[in-house]
Amino acid sequence: MGILKGIGGAVGWAGRRVAMRSRWLARRLWLIAVAEGAWVSWGHWRRLEPNERRRLLALAKKSKGRPSRNLSSAERREAERLLDKLGHIELAGSIAGIALPFRPLSKLATRIVKGRHEHTHRELGLEDPQEQAAGEREKVAA
Protein backbone atom coordinates (compact mmCIF):
# COMPACT_ATOMS: atom_id res chain seq x y z
CA MET A 1 0.00 0.00 0.00
CA GLY A 2 2.82 2.37 0.78
CA ILE A 3 4.22 2.06 -2.75
CA LEU A 4 0.86 2.86 -4.36
CA LYS A 5 0.41 5.84 -2.07
CA GLY A 6 3.90 7.07 -2.99
CA ILE A 7 3.24 6.67 -6.73
CA GLY A 8 -0.13 8.43 -6.41
CA GLY A 9 1.50 11.31 -4.52
CA ALA A 10 4.24 11.64 -7.17
CA VAL A 11 1.71 11.64 -10.00
CA GLY A 12 -0.41 14.22 -8.15
CA TRP A 13 2.63 16.42 -7.52
CA ALA A 14 3.70 16.19 -11.19
CA GLY A 15 0.16 17.02 -12.35
CA ARG A 16 -0.02 20.07 -10.08
CA ARG A 17 3.42 21.16 -11.28
CA VAL A 18 2.38 20.91 -14.95
CA ALA A 19 -0.87 22.79 -14.25
CA MET A 20 1.04 25.57 -12.46
CA ARG A 21 3.51 25.85 -15.33
CA SER A 22 0.66 25.96 -17.88
CA ARG A 23 -1.07 28.72 -15.93
CA TRP A 24 2.20 30.66 -15.78
CA LEU A 25 2.69 30.29 -19.53
CA ALA A 26 -0.93 31.18 -20.34
CA ARG A 27 -0.62 34.42 -18.37
CA ARG A 28 2.45 35.42 -20.39
CA LEU A 29 1.49 34.07 -23.80
CA TRP A 30 0.03 37.42 -24.91
CA LEU A 31 3.50 38.92 -24.49
CA ILE A 32 4.94 36.37 -26.92
CA ALA A 33 2.15 37.14 -29.42
CA VAL A 34 2.80 40.89 -29.14
CA ALA A 35 6.53 40.38 -29.61
CA GLU A 36 5.94 38.21 -32.68
CA GLY A 37 3.53 40.78 -34.12
CA ALA A 38 6.05 43.56 -33.56
CA TRP A 39 8.81 41.51 -35.20
CA VAL A 40 6.66 40.80 -38.28
CA SER A 41 5.59 44.46 -38.49
CA TRP A 42 9.19 45.66 -38.22
CA GLY A 43 10.16 43.42 -41.15
CA HIS A 44 7.44 44.95 -43.30
CA TRP A 45 8.29 48.48 -42.17
CA ARG A 46 11.91 47.94 -43.27
CA ARG A 47 10.70 47.40 -46.86
CA LEU A 48 10.23 51.17 -47.14
CA GLU A 49 13.06 53.63 -47.53
CA PRO A 50 13.44 56.13 -44.64
CA ASN A 51 11.95 59.01 -46.67
CA GLU A 52 9.00 56.77 -47.68
CA ARG A 53 8.42 55.87 -44.02
CA ARG A 54 8.35 59.54 -43.06
CA ARG A 55 5.97 60.33 -45.92
CA LEU A 56 3.62 57.46 -45.01
CA LEU A 57 3.54 58.65 -41.40
CA ALA A 58 2.85 62.22 -42.53
CA LEU A 59 -0.01 61.05 -44.75
CA ALA A 60 -1.44 58.92 -41.93
CA LYS A 61 -1.34 61.90 -39.54
CA LYS A 62 -2.88 64.20 -42.11
CA SER A 63 -5.68 61.75 -42.91
CA LYS A 64 -6.68 61.47 -39.22
CA GLY A 65 -8.08 58.03 -40.03
CA ARG A 66 -10.34 59.36 -42.80
CA PRO A 67 -8.32 59.44 -46.04
CA SER A 68 -11.36 60.03 -48.26
CA ARG A 69 -12.09 63.30 -46.44
CA ASN A 70 -8.70 64.59 -45.41
CA LEU A 71 -6.42 63.62 -48.30
CA SER A 72 -6.49 64.69 -51.92
CA SER A 73 -6.83 62.00 -54.57
CA ALA A 74 -3.11 62.32 -55.40
CA GLU A 75 -2.22 61.84 -51.72
CA ARG A 76 -4.54 58.82 -51.48
CA ARG A 77 -2.86 57.26 -54.52
CA GLU A 78 0.56 57.95 -52.98
CA ALA A 79 -0.51 56.40 -49.67
CA GLU A 80 -1.90 53.37 -51.51
CA ARG A 81 1.38 52.96 -53.41
CA LEU A 82 3.38 53.14 -50.18
CA LEU A 83 1.05 50.68 -48.47
CA ASP A 84 1.41 48.29 -51.39
CA LYS A 85 5.18 48.51 -51.08
CA LEU A 86 4.83 47.94 -47.34
CA GLY A 87 2.85 44.78 -48.05
CA HIS A 88 -0.04 45.65 -45.78
CA ILE A 89 -2.24 42.79 -46.99
CA GLU A 90 0.48 40.27 -46.24
CA LEU A 91 1.09 42.00 -42.91
CA ALA A 92 -2.60 41.78 -42.02
CA GLY A 93 -2.58 38.08 -42.85
CA SER A 94 0.50 37.50 -40.71
CA ILE A 95 -0.96 39.39 -37.75
CA ALA A 96 -4.27 37.53 -38.17
CA GLY A 97 -2.35 34.26 -38.10
CA ILE A 98 -0.72 35.30 -34.83
CA ALA A 99 -3.84 36.71 -33.17
CA LEU A 100 -6.29 34.13 -34.53
CA PRO A 101 -4.59 30.75 -34.20
CA PHE A 102 -7.63 28.99 -35.71
CA ARG A 103 -6.54 28.92 -39.37
CA PRO A 104 -9.98 29.38 -41.03
CA LEU A 105 -10.53 32.59 -39.05
CA SER A 106 -7.16 34.02 -40.02
CA LYS A 107 -7.79 33.14 -43.69
CA LEU A 108 -11.22 34.80 -43.51
CA ALA A 109 -9.72 37.96 -42.01
CA THR A 110 -7.07 38.07 -44.74
CA ARG A 111 -9.69 37.56 -47.44
CA ILE A 112 -11.79 40.44 -46.06
CA VAL A 113 -8.82 42.80 -45.99
CA LYS A 114 -7.80 41.79 -49.51
CA GLY A 115 -11.34 42.42 -50.81
CA ARG A 116 -11.38 45.91 -49.28
CA HIS A 117 -7.96 46.57 -50.81
CA GLU A 118 -9.12 45.60 -54.28
CA HIS A 119 -12.24 47.75 -53.87
CA THR A 120 -10.07 50.75 -52.96
CA HIS A 121 -7.87 50.16 -56.01
CA ARG A 122 -10.90 50.16 -58.29
CA GLU A 123 -12.25 53.29 -56.57
CA LEU A 124 -8.99 55.20 -57.02
CA GLY A 125 -8.53 53.96 -60.57
CA LEU A 126 -5.26 52.23 -59.73
CA GLU A 127 -3.95 49.11 -61.38
CA ASP A 128 -4.25 45.94 -59.31
CA PRO A 129 -0.86 45.29 -57.60
CA GLN A 130 -0.74 41.71 -58.92
CA GLU A 131 -1.38 42.87 -62.48
CA GLN A 132 1.19 45.65 -61.99
CA ALA A 133 3.82 43.14 -60.81
CA ALA A 134 3.05 40.88 -63.78
CA GLY A 135 3.47 43.84 -66.14
CA GLU A 136 6.82 44.72 -64.57
CA ARG A 137 8.01 41.11 -64.95
CA GLU A 138 7.05 41.19 -68.62
CA LYS A 139 9.02 44.42 -69.13
CA VAL A 140 12.08 42.90 -67.49
CA ALA A 141 11.78 39.71 -69.56
CA ALA A 142 11.55 41.70 -72.81
pLDDT tens digits for 29-58? 778 888 888 998 999 899 989 999 999 999
**DSSP state, residue 71:** S
Count CB neighbours of 53 within 10 A: 15
Q: What pLDDT score does 31 carry?
A: 83
Q: What pLDDT score does 30 carry?
A: 78
Q: Which residues form the domain of 135?
A: 31-141
What is the pLDDT tens value at each position of the chain, 142 positions in all? 567 666 666 666 666 666 666 666 667 777 888 888 899 899 989 998 999 999 999 999 999 888 888 989 899 889 889 988 888 888 888 888 887 766 676 677 777 777 766 666 666 666 655 555 555 555 555 5
In a domain, 55, yes or no: yes
In a domain, 119, yes or no: yes
In a domain, 20, yes or no: no
Q: Which residues contact 95 (CB under 8 A, 6 or more apart)?
A: 37, 40, 41
In a domain, 111, yes or no: yes
Q: What pLDDT score does 39 carry?
A: 92
Alpha helices in the chain (DSSP H): 2-45, 50-63, 67-70, 73-86, 88-99, 103-124, 129-141
In a domain, 92, yes or no: yes
- How many domains does the chain contain in total? 1
In a domain, 71, yes or no: yes
What pTM value is reported for the model? 0.57
In a domain, 3, yes or no: no
Q: What pLDDT score does 128 carry?
A: 57
In a domain, 94, yes or no: yes
Q: What pLDDT score does 62 carry?
A: 92
